[in-house]
Amino acid sequence: MRLLELCAGYGGLGMAVAPLVNGRVVYVAESAPGPNAVLAERYPDAPNNLGDIREIDWAQLVGRVDAITAGFPCQDISIAGNRVGIRGARSGVWVHVAEAVRVIRPRILFLENVSNLRTRGLEVVIADLAAIGYSARWVCVRASEAGAPHLRDRWFCIATPEDTDCELGVERRAPSP
């Protein structure tokens, strides 16, 4: 499965998803210089970084991508940030993620953000996905549930086109002691 990693940062979401779907990251979109240097090392055989998500012509990727991952900016959503919500200057990049999904029509979409998205934009994300024909399932997971020694809560979402027979399920483990 060919993955496009949007708002790639240092590439962690793509690294996590690729083995789950027997895929590989073939495109990334990231505009920050620091993460770009890491991405160039991490994905040496991937095409050039597509750059700023706000300036990409998504039509060029139709038929070239099977899945999209996006850990879109959380600064406007996070309790550590300014809390203006998903319409803020940074987190508002979500509209470009939704546009990429609308044009490319991937078989599956993986999203990640802070758990505070539930009160600062979840209804927008789910409504936008529904408007472009995607069904979504989401869950919040504490880092400690994956064995990490801290309680950082994250929101994860998987979405698929409504016109497919793919059924999504989420199994949640009990928190680690």
The span from the CA of 170 to the CA of 159, in Å, is: 12
From 74, 140, 157, 166, active-site residue: 74
Contacts 24+ apart (CB under 8 A), 34-38: 35/8, 35/9, 35/10, 35/11, 38/10, 38/11
> Residue 126: what are its φ and ψ, rounded to 5°?
-65, -40
Q: Is 80 helix (H, G, I), strand (E, B) or coil?
A: coil
Task: Indicate if 74 belongs to the active site.
Answer: yes
Which residues are catalytically annotated?
74
